[in-house]
Chains A and B, each alone.
Chain A
């Protein structure tokens, strides 16, 4: 599992008591659901907590073709014959890692159901194809993320009710500017300007945009400025042009950017 260990501290700026809450939930091995808009720092938070708790982290980006076998494992063939290959969920459960299922709601409903026995007091994973009932390692914990946007599918109640939830939002502008400055290595002034534009795009959420600019996008814009691109051009490339193809919305975004610099 060494490959899944996080060697150095991933930068994460706490915005509230989420670190203490995660630690409390982990202490009792309660499954956690991280809710929040895309690019607000959920994945980084999990990496940071895995490092903090000294646990390996197995991350799965869920998608609508993800099958239960992709999570649990499957038989493969090699020179000696057939060989069982643990899937990421079985791997984490067997060796006591934190298993992070990113955007769980994207996975097919039948796939989500396989996590149920792991996410309640049973803490087991049935490997039907191998005729094994895998009891989770005492250090194993399950964390899933979910972006509850207006277009998002909803989690089934039977899945949702197995989790404690931590809600994430974009940080306050001053804090977000500090994060962007730290992540991209730009001055606080440059970062503040980029964040101010990012905040403007978020006002269009529900008015043509499903999501405004994420912190991740703003960091990317800031990174472009370190390559000599002017902040206005960088925001156009990393934010305005990337956010929307709808002509009316794109036009408003570009005009708002023009007004911002």
Chain B
């Protein structure tokens, strides 16, 4: 047995992580199997429309990451342990506020039994002390603190009474009323005492505390109804599409809807168009030589026509004779007498997909060209290098304007010559529209499905900023593209991405997997990137 090591804090340092809405959502899924959106669009934390709404920024003085986690976990604890609503009929405002304090304490106690670490997120926000005064608001905060923190001993008799009514034991482990609907009687008794103390309660300005706790609007739906009536219903998370007219010549493709976790059949339509030719305004050949690229793409395979070694499929007679002679001469015998077929030619199809959305017009971060120009240059070089290894290559550009209009511009079809005209068509790709990557991938997969001999691969050249005009959920198209990639891989198709911009590298990794994404910062990095992705 080793000596006990001191345990360093895991998250004590402020700023570890960013507590993005997505990571909070994943956290809640891991903790409670909850699937609830977390949005940063509210003034105060609250639960509404099936989502946890948090302010965009933590209150002053609070660590952003820890506070957002604390707030999200508290609201989620209500979703897990609280009833959908409380019956507030006949309750005075102060008793409602007390039911809120008690219900907060109840769900936090239950949550901490399962997940003791949550206490470390919540306790630092409980700062009320006797020095803060003895108004109703402060007493409610002091009650909240004494119910949350077993180590806090408040001298006020009313606060102590609240604790004694709520917990049966001194350690704060055993709740007197573990069921939510029974909290009302404790709240009524405490409310009665406040009345006896002649303390005034300002219900209108009251906001439950500490600041990480939600505002309880879900608890009293009749009170929140007026407020809801004032707010227009938000659009559905995924789609609120103005339905464009469908083009009958287009190819329908399904799309993955992450919210219902199902493919929507024939949801997108891909329209194929020939690409226009234009003289290249940049000279792709100068970026990196096709020969060096081809070597990179073949480098992983056995070098010569025959490869001798310890392993292999056939005996090499020459090596056997040499070995026999060496043995007779008493010299060391080279045991590498087997030879294997070299794989210096590849067979199969490669499809290069160039993202020509409007964002591709922006400047490439590592040079003076636009991202689309860089993407076209890379596509040209990769196409020639891949064709040089023996693969049949096709190149297409894609963009979209809503789900019914995904545009597919065929630059080079399988079997067409990779000549100057093809280069001109590639250079002629213009930027515009959005990026519906999943639909483009499925269309490409359909083209590859016609060829089932040898290897099949798709190389996407994009900034991975997937979006479309009819989608408002930033994760929707990412998950759809990820689904398309997984489907392709199940079909034995390799899918990889050359990134032209690092701003959406996270999305790219999510879609393609970290090992299938590369972002060359210059011409010299292209061979190694291609070798890693499609070599």
Contact = CB atoms under 8 A, between A and B. Distances in A.
Contacts of A151: 486, 489-490, 513
Contacts of B19: 251, 255
A260 B115 contact: yes
B30 A200 contact: yes
B151 interface: no
A252 B27 contact: yes
Contacts of A229: 5
A182 interface: no
B33 A254 contact: no
Contacts of A256: 27, 30-31
Contacts of B378: none
B337 interface: yes
A257 B10 CA distance: 9
Nearest to B114: A196
Interface string B6-20: 011011000011111
Given A248-B22, A259-B121, A232 B10 contact: yes
Interface residues of A, number: 47
A153 interface: yes
A217 interface: no
B264 interface: no
A121 interface: no
Contact of B311 (A69, A232, A233, A255): A69
B4 interface: yes
B313 A129 contact: yes
Interface residues of B, number: 54
Contacts of B451: none
Interface string B305-316: 000000111110
Given A77-B333, A251-B23, A261-B116, A70 B33 contact: no
B490 A253 contact: no
A230 interface: yes
Interface in B183-226: none
A230 B27 contact: no
B311 A74 contact: yes
Contact of A245 (B31, B120, B514): B514
Interface of B: 1-5, 7-8, 10-11, 16-20, 22-24, 26-27, 29-31, 33, 69, 73, 115-118, 120-121, 311-315, 320, 323-324, 327, 333, 335, 337-338, 340, 486, 489-490, 492, 506, 509-510, 513-514
21 contacts: A67-B313, A67-B340, A74-B338, A150-B486, A150-B490, A151-B489, A204-B26, A228-B5, A230-B5, A246-B506, A247-B17, A251-B17, A251-B18, A251-B23, A251-B27, A252-B23, A254-B10, A255-B27, A258-B120, A259-B27, A259-B31
